[in-house]
Structure 1
Amino acid sequence: MSSSRRVGILAPIVLVVGLLVSCSTGADKGAASSPPASTAGVSVGDRPNIVLITADDQTAREMQWLPRTRRLLGKAGLRFDNMIAPHPNCCPARAQILTGQYAQNNGVRTNSPPWGGHENFEPRTALPVWLQEAGYRTGFTGKYLHGYDETDSIEPGWDQWKPIVGVLSDYHSFVQYDNGELVQHGPEDYSTDVVAQQSADMVTTFSSTSEPFFVWSSFVAPHGTCEGNDTIDCSGPPPAADRHADVLGDAKLPSLKSPAFNEADVSEKHKDVRRSPLVDPVAQQTLFTQRVRALAALDEGVAGIVAALEAAGTLDETVILFTSDNGYLFGEHRLVGKNVPYEEAIRVPLLMRGPDLPAGERRRQTVAIVDLAPTIAELADADPMIDIDGRSVLGHAVEDKRQRDRGLLLQAGSRGKDKATAWRWRGVRTNRYTLVRWQGPRLVELTDRVTDPHQLDNVATDPRYQRIRRILARHLDKLEKCAGPGCRAHVPVLPKPR
């Protein structure tokens, strides 16, 4: 039984909608064609209902421990194996979901000011507003943007609004701003279960009328927590639900077998890596065990949402998407956490099911967090109020079409005094290469993920890769300033290393 209690009405419900009304590429060999439109031009259902389910810090490999989600969404739908979080940090990733824009365009570079957090986000032109304008009812529950609190009132575009406020990583005794009232949940409440039940209730209520709906279920799991530990970054092992406290004790951390775990030679990497001590494998196994236990409740929550849709008779009219805001490192490159340009941090799951989508198929095309907003907008036949940097994934979802090499802008902001240069690192990721320009001190890192999938060797100074480095550097120069169509430009034809 829930022990939540309402602690007073702090603000009226505000549903004010603001009426706010290409980079060319050069190459040593060949020329890139014009980028495709941001829409896929395919039909998936007739303005279907849309449910977006997001985990927090979940890696693509951790899908192994969500069997219900794999069955209900992957086997009954499809899975993208090359889904990328270009800005692998909580708040910037969610801003990308809400806008379809990279951070230089949506304003959210970090979790907090001066160049990040809710303070730098413009909600009046975000995704839920487009959907309301298109006739959708909208609902949100769970983790929102860092820095949002009840004094900001209800965000524009949401009919049901239940974000967690205060400490966002508390699994117990957390606070929600529930449609204009603060609700204090007690120690017996578990955030994953609360968000799952609220999501099921929303889809049940929305299904009772004929208008289509959009629900975003934003879970905290398996993000670390400050509960019961003294970590300043809330990265302690997450608590499991009581019913899962003793399960999955034999689950082995895959990272321990990676050649990148406690990487032996880090002399060519950034100083943050070079200065990192060796990671304790026992501590990382403990963290991982608690994470998969936390994911067990999330897996049940996904099943509950699907069951609610089926009971309401709207499952066959609903597109469900499941992803994570970013991945996580457990000692690869001697690092624990995220917000770095390595595959462990930027690879996340993407599962989809819905009307007119194939079942049981997998896709290898590169897709990204910035693609979610244009995908949802196309599903809803909604008009974005801003220029979109991503592109809809529906074309690749419906048909396994060949994709040209796609260069994604990877980046992480900093708290620097000069906004123009307040980046920790920026890079470009293609099908084969990752080129990163680190700041403070400046270092160029180029990895060839075909010959070096674990990104152990920096080949930026290798003579065989000099032409490749120059082409990618020019492409990155353009991506760093891109907006709209320029962000979707194809990667120039790259030569082979020689």
Structure 2
Amino acid sequence: MIATTSHAETNTAKSAERPNILFLYTDDQSWQTIGAWNNPDIQTPNIDRLYSQGTTFSHAFNMGAWNGAVCVAARAQLVTGRTVWNCGGKTAGNGQYPLWGQQFRKAGYDTFMTGKWHNGNKTRSISYSHLGKAGGGMYGSTGLNGEAYWRDGSPDEKWSPSDPKWGGQWRKVKDENGKSTPIHSSDLWADEAIQFLKNTAEKSDRPFFMFVAFHAPHDPRQSPQKYVDMYPLDKIKVPANHLPEHPFCIGDHRIRDEVLAPFPRTEQAVKLHLQEYYAIISHCDAAIGRILEQLEKSGKADNTIIVFTGDHGLAVGQHGLIGKQNLYDHSMRVPLIFSGPGIPKGKIIPKQVYYQSLAPTTLEMSGIPIPQTFEFKSLHPMIQGTEGYQGEDRIIGMYRDYQRAIRTERYKLIYYPYAGNKITLKGKEFKVQKPYQARIQLFDLQKDPLEMNNLADNPEWTSIKDTLLSQLKSGMKKLNDQQNLDSPVDIPNYGKVWRTKK
């Protein structure tokens, strides 16, 4: 059942005057996972349809995060329209700033949310007039030393992505007779969205804004067996930038995400995790397809702009990493697709943007004023090919106090303030002695898009390195970043999370 909340709405809008917005949001989905666009090894027919019928930003990025749960910061930036250090922390300001859904609600839209919400109950309740079922940050399966972790495909492993007994993405929902039945979270959120379309959108003369946030493909990467069977292990390709382990500590070297697979990362382990990653994405794609089918049946499709993106990417074996606590493209870069009335078909925009620009973009598309508190810029001029904002010459990325990055269309520099030190392991903590020493990576993205060849120590690249470093410091200052790369904050236990299998 979808709950309805009361809230003052003004500027009553009718659906014939303003477009509906259907926002489809996945978790941990890298830009490299769209079948028709960039990965023929994965099957995503419904996202493919959005891609072919719409406009794609090929270089959309998450700005960064202040903690290991990157999705918290990414989503706070999205719903406030504000940059990472100004978005109000994990509760997205707890109502301090105007919110994305709230602006549509005030403009007379029926606003609906279901799925993953990671920024506090208050921001959700004031943003959406119709509240579907929702869940928190992730659905865990076992403890860190349980069967869901340290998996490499060994014959004695018991955990199965398709067996509901392992919980996780497999939720238990009671039917009308009170009997608990397992249902995958992607199907649960799709069902909630479909019910809203049937029971509210089809019957209302008001436009709607739908925020449908899947937990997939976040781990535990579970899906029905038929989706796992779509990806035989012997057909899975190991990424070209696969490493057995990252060559140095990047700060959260053994955080929870990273112990899903053992060390070193064998090709067998990477294939296993890619198999389950692809399978849960294909299953989520099917759930998206059901929502799109109901949208067509509702008669609202011709006036609905559909936006698809992910909150951030994921490594899954690239650079010796499994998680997203890094600033390589596979973990910063996301798919971003617009489809619907007035959206050019088959258009790809290569300019760099932050995907958190969605709030001002959809507000402008709907003729709703953009709050002055929003810091991200509307992408509407880029979609329509008109004058105005044309993307970012330099993307600034950040992860905790451990990593900073600057990315131009040609180059990427990643700066690790503490990783140049000799680090000793004492018990379960790294010990870093002052003075801190940095480690730098520099990549020529034109020649090295997979970020495999570090040029930072090559004297021929010193000028470019110094220029990028100067631009990075300037960009950090503009974004209210308090980390000082010349005198970094004191972190005596850099990389303190060091998990080992018991």
Query: What is the TM-score normalised by the length of structure 1?
Result: 0.73
- From 443, 447, 453, give the equivalent of 1:447: 443
| 1:133 matched to 2:112 | no
Q: Secondary structure at the match of 1:173?
A: strand
- Residue equivalent to 1:475: 471
- Residue equivalent to 1:112: none
Tell me the distance in 2 between the aligned counterparts of 1:306 and 1:265.
40
Structure 1 residues 371 and 295 mapped into 2: Cα distance closer, same or farther (>3 Å)? same
- From 166, 171, 174, give the equivalent of 1:173: 171
**Cα deviations across residues 159-204 of structure 1 (Å, max 9, x unaligned)?**
112321475453123699xxxxxxx994512111110111122233
Consecutive unaligned residues in structure 1, runs of 5 or more: 1-5, 7-11, 20-44, 109-116, 177-183, 226-237, 414-422, 485-498
Alpha carbons 2:32, 2:330 under 8 Å: kept: no
Q: Secondary structure at the match of 2:441?
A: strand
Moved more, 243-252 or 57-66: 243-252
Tell me the distance in 1 between the aligned counterparts of 2:234 and 2:108.
45
| 1:155 matched to 2:129 | no
Deviation at 1:211, TM superposition (A): 1.4
- Residue equivalent to 1:215: 210
Tell me the distance in 2 between the aligned counterparts of 1:362 and 1:105.
30
- Residue equivalent to 1:69: 46
Consecutive unaligned residues in structure 2, runs of 5 or more: 11-15, 36-41, 141-167, 420-437, 481-502
**Cα deviations across residues 114-155 of structure 1 (Å, max 9, x unaligned)?**
xxx338654652111111122221111101116x46xx5952
Tell me the distance in 1 between the aligned counterparts of 2:111 and 2:335.
24
Structure 1 residues 480 and 309 mapped into 2: Cα distance closer, same or farther (>3 Å)? same
- Residue equivalent to 1:26: none
- Residue equivalent to 1:96: 77
Q: Secondary structure at the match of 1:72?
A: helix
Alpha carbons 1:138, 1:215 under 8 Å: kept: yes
Alpha carbons 1:164, 1:174 under 8 Å: kept: no
Tell me the distance in 1 between the aligned counterparts of 2:395 and 2:179.
40
Structure 1 residues 404 and 137 mapped into 2: Cα distance closer, same or farther (>3 Å)? closer
Structure 1 residues 314 and 330 mapped into 2: Cα distance closer, same or farther (>3 Å)? same
Tell me the distance in 1 between the aligned counterparts of 2:373 and 2:448.
36
Deviation at 1:386, TM superposition (A): 4.6
CA RMSD of aligned residues (A): 3.5
> What aligned pairs does 1:14-413 form with structure 2 within 5 A after superposition?
15=6, 46-64=17-35, 65-87=42-64, 89-108=70-89, 117-118=90-91, 121-122=94-95, 125-145=98-118, 148=120, 155-161=125-131, 162-165=133-136, 167-168=138-139, 170-173=168-171, 186-204=180-198, 205-225=200-220, 238-241=221-224, 243-249=226-232, 252-254=235-237, 256-258=238-240, 260-262=241-243, 266=247, 270=250, 277-399=263-385, 406-413=393-400
Deviation at 1:363, TM superposition (A): 2.3
Tell me the distance in 1 between the aligned counterparts of 2:403 and 2:201.
43
Query: What is the TM-score normalised by the length of structure 2?
Result: 0.72
Q: Secondary structure at the match of 2:447?
A: coil
Alpha carbons 2:172, 2:182 under 8 Å: kept: no
Tell me the distance in 1 between the aligned counterparts of 2:173 and 2:64.
27
Alpha carbons 1:221, 1:291 under 8 Å: kept: no
Structure 1 residues 142 and 271 mapped into 2: Cα distance closer, same or farther (>3 Å)? closer
Tell me the distance in 1 between the aligned counterparts of 2:414 and 2:253.
14
Deviation at 1:49, TM superposition (A): 0.5
**Cα deviations across residues 236-260 of structure 1 (Å, max 9, x unaligned)?**
xx22135535333268444x141x2
Q: Secondary structure at the match of 2:272?
A: helix
**Code of the aligned partner of 2:408:** T
Tell me the distance in 1 between the aligned counterparts of 2:6 and 2:205.
21
Structure 1 residues 52 and 252 mapped into 2: Cα distance closer, same or farther (>3 Å)? farther
Moved more, 156-165 or 384-393: 384-393
Structure 1 residues 135 and 274 mapped into 2: Cα distance closer, same or farther (>3 Å)? closer
Deviation at 1:265, TM superposition (A): 9.0
Alpha carbons 2:315, 2:323 under 8 Å: kept: yes
Tell me the distance in 2 between the aligned counterparts of 1:427 and 1:172.
37
Deviation at 1:381, TM superposition (A): 2.2
| Relative contact order higher in (CA < 8 Å, ≥ 6 apart) | 1
Structure 1 residues 47 and 468 mapped into 2: Cα distance closer, same or farther (>3 Å)? farther
Tell me the distance in 1 between the aligned counterparts of 2:9 and 2:91.
17
- Residue equivalent to 2:426: none
